[in-house]
Amino acid sequence: MPDHDAIRCDACPVLCYIKPGRTGACDRYGNQGGQLVRLDPHVVLDRAVSRGDSLVPFLERDRDWDGNIVSGPRTFVTAIGAGTTYPDYKPAPFIISSEVEGVDMVTVVTEGIFSYCGVKVKIDTDRHLGPERSLVRAKGEPVGHVTTSEYGSQMLSLGGVRHLTGGTRDEGNVTCETLLNLCNGKAAELTIDDGADVVVEAGKPPVVNGVVEERMRVGCGSATIGMFAKQWHGKIDDVVVVDDHITGVLSEHQAGKMLGIPETGIKMKGRRSTPGRYFRVAEPGTAWGGTNIREPLSILAPFNPKIAWAGLRLLMVSTTGEHYAYYELDDALRPMEKDLPDSLRLSVERIKENCEVALSTVIFMGGAGGSLRAGVTENPVKLTRSVRDSLTRVTCGGAPVYVWPGGGITLMVDVSRMPENAFGYVPTPALVAPIEFTLKLDDYSALGGYMDRVRPLSSLLNDEGRRHVSARAENPWPFEDNRRRSQS
Amino acid sequence: MRSRAQVRVLPDGRRLHLEDGPIDIVLQAFGAEDQIRRAYRSAVDRFVAVLDELCRELPLLREQVCFGGREPSGIIARRMFAAVMPYAEENFITPMAAVAGAVAEEILAAMTSSAALSRAYVNDGGDIALDIGSGERFVIGMVGRPDRPPLAGTLFGTMILDSNQPVRGIATSGWRGRSFSLGIADAVTILAKTAAMADAAATIVANAVDLPGHPAISRIAARELSPDSDLGDRLVTTAVGELTSAEVSRALGRGSACAERLIASGLIDAAALNLQGTTRVMAPVESPEMALSPGGRSLVYA
């Protein structure tokens, strides 16, 4: 059916076909000359004063509003939908003044076109995703590479100028699309050379080779012994923490020895690494501790009758605390399963509690080039210095950023703290990201700002076509000083 | 964790605004503070799943319904299907004609089943589901031009709904609205027992307000505007020129006759039809109290 000139919008599952010059069912996305364009108006953040900062605290707060009035302006103009400084010499589209506790502040708002940008993706999984430096592909095109492993996580570096503009046209376009999807909170399907297929989406559990990661274990079996040995001491004679990687045994482990826990005569199957640490007690699987073990006693050989005693108490538990069993030895030194005593229940629950939900997280990283900075001031290096000296606060869509030390303004921001669909793209290809600079009006004047373009906040709020979005409660309010927040 | 849906409290601090794809809802609950909070939490919990649920069956929901045909499985989709079924024999109609009303009902149900409220409304782009506790009432304003902001003076009438009346759903349809219409009504507002029933009926009655073949009316195949519209090659209205009062009367007459049949068969409780500044109200005597603003020029009781 589809007309040749209609395009498919994938902003939501309705997947409208949109003809040129028309919008989809939502009236928020449209087809402009064959390109899918977000028609959302310029976004401003509202800080609700009467009932908390946003919906979440309003719903979750059980006490009523305490009567405090938030000081300073309650509206922050973001760069989302503001437009860019292109061509370079143009001042930023909005330079807004507002008064914060008696001080005149200015926020310079622009959408930056980032050719030098990418995302760092942290994937919580113990599975091997691929060798370091392997290419990461989307739709067959190289879009990034596997970088270091971190504790319990694998890191990918995607995008960057070499993939965006240094390769073939397809490579650039697919890279741009992948970055845009990840930054706007959509899923990306990635394939790693000599490695796994992964589906990542900011704030959602990763899917590795079709399997959803549920939880991060608190540590390997040996580490779990170390962490909980003290809590078990005196309440139990021996503990086995079953793990796909290293299974730990309390009485043999260094941690048990230090506490003076006596030998129990326990005998493990599998290959002993160092005392109390065993490799390969079973094959990987989906049962106990990521192994194929369904019957935990199957990994134990009979107890040594010279050492073990009748009534010996044994706990077997997985690294996530999801599986556990409690035994006492009978007169023939056979483990008999019994109900878990309350005194041990807490330690099992604590293991479980310490296993966090596995997530993919996406950090956007980009460098504000000279032309973007030229939209803020006629002397771009002064803006860099002002950011360095903490006189200028940088935000992306109102979300806090980390500015890398050293030259330039290279920043990182957690995309899930930004408003929805904050990113766009240009066909270069490059990503368009919102960026705001907030500083004192005096400082702005001193660094050569476009003083004749400064306009009061009130001049914007009466215009139509601005979209008001509640500020996220977890983000610091862009007008508030960090130092003051940490003191209060 | 971030979801596609957007949720925020409107600046008045009382109403909740929910947005996801084409769904745009403003709702409000009345009652004790903790109950309101509970109701809003339930509304959000339910809302975030609605669009994905509907889209899973979207192709089926865009098809003409017929007796014995394949029925959708989702709870909202089934409500849409049931609401349009009474019209299927004589009209082209798909479950999509009742989508907004059916979604409004679902969100309202999530609120009222989890909290004790005195009253509540869920307004899904003009299609409204109501909960009215005993002795409570709502005053509803009707806009003549759904495409314009309802500023003072643009209401063509108001009505008062109380808990003794059976009406719990209100819907408005017209060619200027967000959905396509086969007719020329600026706005047809329907009162019915449920929002989905009102939504389906508003589509049918707005389609009936028409002057077939009139040269001042521009129409185009729905597919030309929106390639995946459920209306396909059917001609939808894109412009209506100035009509004489006799023509307005004739078009409204067709619509009124349709509304009258629906009232008689118990599918709806009342209807208000608006075309180029002329309003007709079709309402049985015992039905809601409707008051027209001075602008309304004609008033008919069925």
Report the pLDDT value the prediction gives residue B160, as an integer from 0 to 100. Answer: 82
Strand partners, B189: B172, B272
Residue B127 is encoded by which pair of tokens?
A: 């299609």
A13 contacts B55? CB cut-off 8 A: yes
Question: Strands A313-318 and A238-242, how do they pair?
Answer: parallel
**What is the pTM assigned to this prediction?**
0.55
A420 contacts B4? CB cut-off 8 A: yes
Across the beta sheet with A188-192, what order do the strands follow? A211-212, A207-208, A197-200, A188-192, A135-138, A141-150, A153-159, A117-124, A360-368, A409-414, A402-403
Residues B214 and B287 in one domain: yes
Neighboring chain B residues of A22 at a CB cutoff of 8 Å: 225-226
Nearest C-alpha of chain B: how many angstroms from A446? 37
Q: Which of B97, B136, B135, B141 is nearest to B123 (CA)?
A: B141
- Cα distances (Å, whole numbers) of residue A176 to A46, A115, A160, A165, A242: 31, 10, 10, 10, 43
Report the pLDDT value the prediction gives residue A483, as an integer from 0 to 100. Answer: 39
Residues B289 and B144 in one domain: yes
Report the pLDDT value the prediction gives residue A66, as an integer from 0 to 100. Answer: 33
Report the pLDDT value the prediction gives residue B168, as an integer from 0 to 100. Answer: 95
Residue finishing a domain among B131, B156, B179 = B131
Nearest to B226 among A22, A420, A469 (CB): A22
Tens of pLDDT, residues B92-134: 999 999 999 999 999 999 999 999 999 999 999 889 999 999 9
Report the pLDDT value the prediction gives residue B191, as an integer from 0 to 100. Answer: 93
Residues B181 and B239 in one domain: yes
Does residue A473 belong to the interface with chain B, where contact is any CB pair within 8 Å?
Answer: no
The parts of chain A modelled with pLDDT lower than 50 are: 1-2, 48-71, 482-488
- Which of B2, B47, B57, B225 to mutate against chain A (most A CBs within 10 Å)? B2
Residues B117 and B147 in one domain: no
Residues B110 and B196 in one domain: no
Q: Residues of chain B whose C-beta is under 8 A from some C-beta in A?
A: 1-2, 4, 6-9, 11, 13, 16, 20-22, 24, 33-34, 37, 40-41, 44, 51-52, 55, 58, 178, 223-228
Identify the DSSP state of A152: T
Average pLDDT, rounded, for chain B:
86
Residues B144 and B292 in one domain: yes
Residues B166 and B273 in one domain: yes
Q: Which of B100, B177, B182, B178 is nearest to B144 (CA)?
A: B177
Residues B102 and B36 in one domain: yes
* Count of the separate structural domains present in chain B: 2
* Cβ atoms of residues A472 and A58 within 8 Å: no
Residues B152 and B124 in one domain: no
A2 contacts B22? CB cut-off 8 A: no
Report the pLDDT value the prediction gives residue A269, as an integer from 0 to 100. Answer: 87
CA-nearest residue to B11 within chain A is A48
Q: Which of B179, B182, B185 is nearest to B229 (CA)?
A: B179
Nearest to B2 among A12, A54, A203 (CB): A203
Neighboring chain A residues of B8 at a CB cutoff of 8 Å: 54-55, 468-470
Report the pLDDT value the prediction gives residue A419, as an integer from 0 to 100. Answer: 85
B44 contacts A48? CB cut-off 8 A: no
The parts of chain B modelled with pLDDT lower than 50 are: 1-2, 150-152, 293-302
Residues B58 and B149 in one domain: no
Give the integer Cα–Cα distance in Å for A268 and A277. Answer: 10
Alpha carbon of residue A218 to chain centroid: 19
Residue for token pair 């492993």: A149
Residue finishing a domain among B111, B131, B151 = B131
Helical segments of A245-403, H only: 254-258, 342-353, 370-374, 380-388
Residues B116 and B32 in one domain: yes
Residues B102 and B142 in one domain: no
Tens of pLDDT, residues B237-279: 999 999 999 999 999 999 999 999 999 999 999 999 999 988 8
CA-nearest residue to A61 within chain B is B37
Report the pLDDT value the prediction gives residue A484, as an integer from 0 to 100. Answer: 40
CA-nearest residue to B125 within chain A is A26
Does residue A416 belong to the interface with chain B, where contact is any CB pair within 8 Å?
Answer: yes
Q: Domain limits at B158? A: 134-302
Neighboring chain A residues of B22 at a CB cutoff of 8 Å: 12, 14, 24-27
Report the pLDDT value the prediction gives residue B129, as an integer from 0 to 100. Answer: 96
Report the pLDDT value the prediction gives residue A54, as an integer from 0 to 100. Answer: 35
Residue B259 is encoded by which pair of tokens?
A: 């509304």
Residue finishing a domain among B88, B112, B131 = B131
Nearest to A54 among B8, B44, B52 (CB): B8
- Cα distances (Å, whole numbers) of residue A50 to A43, A66, A471: 21, 9, 14
A13 contacts B227? CB cut-off 8 A: no
Residue for token pair 């990113």: A423
